Amino acid sequence: MSTSPMKESIPTLANATPIALEIPPSPRTHRALRRLQSAHTLGQSSNQPSLITQQHKQALQRNLSPASNPPSTSRHTRGRSNSDATNMTPPNLGSAGRRPLLRKKSNVADQLSLVQLVRDGPPDGDLIGALDSARLKILSQGIKSDTDGMSSLRIYVWLILLNAPVLETDSYLALIHRGASPAYSKIRNDTFRTLATDPLFRRRVSEASLIRLLNAVAWKLHDAKEERAENLAKSAGKINTANMQGSPELQSTTPALKSRARALTLTTEGSDAGGSEPGTYVQGMNVLAAPFLYAARSEAEAFVAFHRFITNECPGYVRGAMDGVHKGLALVDKVLAIVDPKLSLYLIGKGMTAELYAFPSVLTLCACTPPLPQVLRLWDFLFAYGAHLNILCIVAQLVILRNSILSSPSPTKILRSFPPLQSETIIQVTLTIIKKIPDDVYAEIVSHAK
């Protein structure tokens, strides 16, 4: 999302239980050890323990395990054996390319609970510090909820993280009272099968409320497109008026150029090419809206959070061509090839690309995979650190299934429907593999849904 933290500031859980991913160790792990040993030898003449010595001890304590603390791979340059010692500088937690384990700077908001931060607002007006602290609390402690995933706090945390505007209930009711939107028939074709096998969702959220929410969003998006079309028409009218009055620039052009400019204007008026507005409704929006209705305490809250999410976080997912979803699927293949080349080659050899098995998971941010309480916990993490991380969460699920996939002659059966979500495990694996993603690929992940 636009206000989500940078890659370098996403922490690793210090107390997380290491997960055996059974991924072959990278050759960079051994090169890192050799560099540290070489630098340690060069620094032994000093009376004071060198930075290399301290880093060596820290590396030995962590054992440089690829599962618990993988080496940074953002810069793919081959180091030199001895001269690396002069390049070993103290970690700068604020510099680009560094991945701190935990934020060291003391923060007043750290002393408050997540409930207090939401209720009382940022202490001393420190909004950045309060958001930073809230994200870390969500990652390390989670949002307290019951066994059904219900929490009185969650929807307000989501609204804050999404930077959703304040909306009066009357504004939502006004959209409902307008009746059926142009997308109403498409909405009715999808709502009855939304999470149809999830008893928690069916018990708490009615189909009528889902229809009202999606229909109101469709009206809102329809109005936005109408407003954009009017603005384009006004701009075209001003240009035509200037032409009739005879601007010196256009008077000097040839009739052919004038005709071409007019044709281009007429084509642009009725086109959404290059626009950032999503369509009024595409299949899959019903599943995306479901967790918002389940977590919210009113339809109006769910409406403003969902509308903000699809227009600001993933407009590319709900445009007619779903270009953002297809970019995300290509990134799943690319990231898997980086994280686990053997698994990637095996799936490609079986003709299994992400387009065949990951489309629902990309489009719905894994909301298509039960159970719903685990979806809500995963969304807490995604909204805190960026919904684009869903791409890595999907790769994390493939890594968790690695042994089963490699030992299966037909992985299609395994990937036809993903196993039940285990949000904590997925988050831990995601935090592990994120350190292996090159910065240019990570930039593609951040922007793919826009």
Question: Is 432:67 a contact under the CB 8 Å cutoff?
Answer: yes
For the chain, the average pLDDT equals 78
CB 159 within 8 Å of CB 304: yes
pLDDT tens-digit series, residues 391-447: 999 999 999 999 999 999 889 889 988 999 999 999 999 999 999 999 999 999 999
Predicted confidence (pLDDT) per residue in 106-163, tens digit: 678 888 999 999 999 999 888 999 999 999 999 999 999 999 999 999 999 999 999 9
**Whether residue 39 has pLDDT greater than 90:** no
Chain-centroid distance, C-alpha 294:
20
pLDDT bracket for residue 42 (50, 70, 90): very low
Which pLDDT score, from 0 to 100, does residue 250 have?
A: 44
Cα angle 319, 316, 425; round to 5? 130
- Torsion, Cα of 401, 98, 13, 343 (10° steps): 10
Cα–Cα dist 77/39, whole Å:
18
Going by C-alpha positions, the residue among 215, 224, 154, 151 that lies closest to residue 188 is 215
CB atoms within 10 A of CB 68: 17
Q: Is 161 in contact with 399 (CB distance < 8 Å)?
A: no
Give this prediction's pTM.
0.73
Comparison of pLDDT for 339 and 249, the residue scoring more: 339
Closest to 229 (Cα-Cα) out of 260, 268, 264, 262: 268
Between these two residues, 270 and 191, which has the higher pLDDT value?
Answer: 191
For residue 301, what are the CA distances in angstroms to 5, 72, 172, 310, 380? 25, 40, 9, 15, 16
**How far is 155 from 330, CA to CA, in rounded Å?**
31
At residue 235, the pLDDT reads 78
